[in-house]
Every structure is written in C-alpha cells, then in structure tokens.
Structure 1
Amino acid sequence: PKMVNFSIFNVPWERRMQTLAVLSFVIALPLTFICLLGSIVLLFWYPLNMPFLAYLLYIYLDNAQFTGNRMSPWFRNLRWWVNFKEYFPITLIKTKDLEPDGKYIFGYHPHGIIGLGAISTFGTNGCGFNKLYPGIRVHLTTLRTNLNIPFLRELWLSLGICAADRKTFHSVLSQPGRAVAVVVGGAAESLKASPGTLDLCLAHRKGFVRQALLHDAALVPVLAFG
C-alpha cells in the first residue's frame, strides 16, 4: 500500500517561521476574549484585584491610543514582521515620493476579512514603509474598543496603532512628518470581502477627508489587491 506523505516534514524552516508569524497574529483575535475573561477573574481574585483595578484606572486615564507615543521602533522592526509579510507575500509598491516633513492620511481599500494587509503595511515595518518613506511616522487606526482591552492593548500600542477618532487626527497631525492610515470601509467592508471582487464602502465615510482639510494633510489613496 502507498504510504501517506506528511508534507509538514518537508516544509522549509523559513516557511515554518512565516506560518508561525501569521498564526501568532491570528491567535490574537480569540485572545481578545481570553483577555476579557481573564479581566473578570482578576477583578475578584484577591490580592491581584487591587493591582488590576489600578491598571484599569491607568487605561482609563492613558491617552496613548490617541497620541501613538507608545510606538516601539524596535518592535515594529522585528524580523518577525518580515516573516509575517513573506507568508502571503505582501509587497508595498511606492508610486510617488512623499516629503518627509509633510502630513498625510493614507486611505486604505479594501478592508478584507481581517485587514492583514493594512497591519503589515502600516502597523509594522515588515513591508519596509520606513525605508520607502524615510522620516514619515505612520499610525494605523482601529476601533477604539480594541485599544481598551486589558493587556492586549499594549501589543497594539507598541505597534503605534491608534484609535480611529478625531482626537488621533488632531494629535498625530499636529506635527510634521506624521501620518495616519485609515481603513476607510471599516468592519462593514469586511463583510463584502469575496474572491474576485472589489466592493468598497465609501458612502458616509468622509470623516477622514474632513480631517485632512482641518489639518492641511495630503490624502494618499492605497489600493490592496491579491
């Protein structure tokens, strides 16, 4: 009889690391619920409940989700994120130079199911954003609730991810050489993700244009495909 060929044993080490990088990030999605459940447990677990309450107060008072000042260049530059983008692979193609002292809003389309392209491009330096656009510090935005989840929020803040809120635009775009990346269609657009289609949610999504006008920032369209 023919023997079963377990292809896992023939996978190159580099490919294994790429798969692990993507898997670890996808696991962060159910990790959200684990963090929330753990938070409930800690609230009633003496003596850890008091330090945890202090941490919750810190989250409430912290404004890093609007300023992006918790960004860690070291964390964004890890080889781990290169493995992440090479799994697909994801390539960032520059079509125009951007002045390093300008202010920009990147409008990313489409969202996709999870938005891994936006995360790899703007949430890390795995695609080489910092080399293609030297001097520009970009902050990807997400739902504000994602940055209120205990413990997990520290990961997003280390990547420079900010809340999709007008406070973020006001804080980040108050300085030259800064940029905000917005996945314009949001969660509603993710429901339209389907192979061979490019359905966008643009109606009633003009808030980022208003912010560009208010802060004299250039709008940069970004199209993801593949």
Structure 2
Amino acid sequence: MVKFAPLAVPWERRLQTFTVLLFVFSLLVLPLICIAIFIGLLFTRFWVFSVLYATWYYLDWEKPAQGGRKVMAVRRWFMWKYMKDYFPVSLVKTAELDPSQNYLAGFHPHGILAFGVFTTLCTESTSFPSLFSGIRPRVMMLNLWFRVPFLREYLMAGGLITADKESAAYVLNKKEGGNLLGIIIGGAREALDARPGAYTLLLQNRKGFVRLALMHGAALVPTFSFGENEVFDQVKNSPGSWLRSVQNQLQKVMRISLPLFHGRGIFQYSFGFLPHRRPITIVVGKPIEVQQTLYPSKEEVDQLHQRYIEELCNLFETHKLKYNVPIDQHLEFH
C-alpha cells in the first residue's frame, strides 16, 4: 500500500525535500552529465570552452591533492540549511579542539550517501566553525570523482580533497595548525552494510589512517554519526550471498560500491531514492594525542589502532541511549 504525502505540506518542508533531491541527484547523476557536457561541447561551435577547460584541467591537475580550493560562498549556500533541517542533522561537541594542532578525524559509519560528514564538514549549516573555532576541515573522497570535468571544481569548493597519502600530508604538515582531515574509515565497502539497526564497521584491518596520524603527529578524533544508517533501507545482501559477491567484485573493479538502496519518493513515503526523514547526530569525540613518529613500527600502529577502537567504543556506548540505540546493541568490527 502506497502512503502518499499530504497535500498541505508547508513550503519549508517542500524546500527541504527539493534540496535533498538535488543533493542525491548530484551524487548519482551529475558525474555523467558533466562528462556528457564536456564531450558534447567538442562537437558544437562552443568547442573552445572544452578545450580551454581541458587546458585548465591539465595545469590544475594537482590541486585536489594540495588542499583543494574551498569557496566559502558555496559552503554557505542557503540550500544547505534546508538539507540539514530535512533529517535534521545536528553536531555534538564533547571536547575542545586546540587550533594550534592538526587533527585526523575518523568518521563512522559511511552510511549510503554519507549525509552526516558532508553536512558537517563540507557546509557551514551545522555551525562547525562556531563550535570548533579556528579549525579548518577538509574531507577525503575517492580520487575517481576528481577526474570528472567540472565536477572536481564543485567538490573542491566544499572542502573535498583526494584520498591519498600526498593529499593527507599536504593538510597535516601545515605548521600553523588548525587543520582537520576527515576520513570515512570504512569507505565505499562499508556502505554495503548500511541499513537501519546495523552497527557494523569496517575497521579491524583499516590501519592506514593510524599510520598517517603517527607520521604527521596529528591527534586522532573518533567521530560517530548516529542515525546515518537509518535513512535508507537496503536490499538484503548478507556476506556470502550471491548479491554481496557481485557487489564485492564490482567494488574491486570500479573502486565504488553499488548498494541497492531505497527510501521514499517526492510525493509518497513508500519507495524511492530520497532518504527517510530520520535524525542524524554527529558526535565528535575527545582527541587522542599522538606523538609524531616518522617511521612507525607495526607494533606502534597496532597499539594506537587498538586505542582508537576503544575510544570509539566508549564514545558509542556513552551516547547511544540518547539516540535510541538499544542498550544491548554494540559496535561490530570487520
């Protein structure tokens, strides 16, 4: 039975739905449109625009790995407020971040489309700058997306940078401090476990971020996004199933995961590609101080990684009851 949305919906809520629709569209369709425009212009009298952009693209190739190019006007777009209020998304601070230090923040879980980390670190809508004064956030994203013409400019404008060691070093080596590098540790593979009531994190063998923190002396900040997995449903794909096997193979080849998710529609609540209106709360934990070690040993990496897991579990257990997580529910690590 299809449950339709009421006709008398306030304009505020309509704007929220429209903004989230644009965001989902930008993630799922915009890359293809950007490629089509770039190639299509080459076969019109406006071919010079593609040639000029290709020249700029070549000269600017390294920029996504050199801190990107934030555009505050984009981060402050009025539309982000409507997107934040749609769920709503809120940010909780549990400890101070010293602006004289650099930080590496691990975000968990990935969810389907990572609404929490994007809204928090790539826009100004959750008041991150006022809560963490003097801290300048950037977020790592799969390098593939920065190869798409035009799209790369949009991504960098929000504070997104490539996910590689050189990119991390550029941010974390800045001597003035106040830089925060956000990494969704579980990455695209973790999205395959994103469904309501699931708290499975791909973290057990993910230690590269710990090594980066040690090499650059950046404090580790565990961060948990309560509600991130609640906004979409996903077709059952338990480990070992034929569907998960296909998804894993595609992920290895394409470097992106393809979860079969569904939510609600624009005018009805029963099916579609829009997320459900469910609260997302990003809780930023207490920083773990890290002593710089240029060449960390396996034992040092393992020790810090274990401490990070313990602090993340403590953060989750301390706050879970506030956000409707059952008392007998605990984090699972793969």
What TM-score do the two structures reach when normalised by structure 1? 0.91
When structure 1 is superposed on structure 2, of 181-190 and 151-160 the one drifting more is 151-160
Q: CA deviation at 1:18?
A: 1.1
Q: Deviations over 1:112-143 (max 9, x none)?
A: 01111111111111111111101010001110
Pairs within 5 Å for 1:145-224: 145-175=144-174, 176-224=177-225
The aligned residue for residue 76 of structure 2 is 77
Q: CA deviation at 1:49?
A: 3.1
When structure 1 is superposed on structure 2, of 200-209 and 170-179 the one drifting more is 200-209
Pairs within 5 Å for 1:114-133: 114-133=113-132
The aligned residue for residue 19 of structure 1 is 17
Q: Deviations over 1:83-123 (max 9, x none)?
A: 11110011111111110121001100010011111111111
Root-mean-square deviation over aligned CA pairs: 1.8
Matched residue of 2:103: which SS?
strand
Matched residue of 2:50: which SS?
helix
The aligned residue for residue 258 of structure 2 is none
Q: In the alignment, is residue 136 of structure 1 matched against residue 142 of structure 2?
A: no
Judge conservation of contact 1:59–1:148 (CA < 8 Å) in 2: no
Matched residue of 1:10: which SS?
coil
| Cα distance in 1 for residues equivalent to 2:77 and 2:161 | 20
Q: In the alignment, is residue 30 of structure 1 matched against residue 29 of structure 2?
A: yes
Letter in 1 for 2:186: G
| Cα distance in 2 for residues equivalent to 1:123 and 1:40 | 29
Judge conservation of contact 2:68–2:161 (CA < 8 Å) in 1: no
Matched residue of 1:141: which SS?
strand
| Cα distance in 1 for residues equivalent to 2:223 and 2:160 | 18
| Cα distance in 2 for residues equivalent to 1:53 and 1:110 | 40
Matched residue of 2:91: which SS?
coil
What TM-score do the two structures reach when normalised by structure 2? 0.63
| Cα distance in 1 for residues equivalent to 2:142 and 2:91 | 24
User: Greater CA radius of gyration, 1 or 2?
Assistant: 2
When structure 1 is superposed on structure 2, of 100-109 and 72-81 the one drifting more is 72-81
Matched residue of 1:224: which SS?
strand
Matched residue of 1:134: which SS?
coil
The aligned residue for residue 91 of structure 1 is 90
The aligned residue for residue 113 of structure 1 is 112
The partner residue of 1:54 within 34, 52, 55 is: 52
Q: Deviations over 1:156-209 (max 9, x none)?
A: 111111111111111111221111100011100001111101111114421111
Letter in 1 for 2:17: T
Letter in 1 for 2:149: P
| Cα distance in 2 for residues equivalent to 1:132 and 1:218 | 18
| Cα distance in 1 for residues equivalent to 2:112 and 2:184 | 12
| Cα distance in 1 for residues equivalent to 2:72 and 2:197 | 36
Q: CA deviation at 1:69?
A: 4.4
Letter in 1 for 2:12: E
Matched residue of 1:37: which SS?
helix
Judge conservation of contact 2:41–2:49 (CA < 8 Å) in 1: no
Q: CA deviation at 1:221?
A: 0.6
| Cα distance in 2 for residues equivalent to 1:105 and 1:193 | 23
Aligned length: 221
| Cα distance in 2 for residues equivalent to 1:181 and 1:122 | 8
Q: CA deviation at 1:10?
A: 1.0
Structure with more relative contact order (C-alpha pairs < 8 Å, separation 6 or more):
1
Q: CA deviation at 1:68?
A: 2.8
| Cα distance in 1 for residues equivalent to 2:71 and 2:10 | 31
| Cα distance in 1 for residues equivalent to 2:32 and 2:132 | 36
Q: Name stretches of at least 5 consecutive residues in structure 1 with no aligned partner.
A: 1-5
Q: CA deviation at 1:8?
A: 5.0
| Cα distance in 1 for residues equivalent to 2:54 and 2:207 | 33
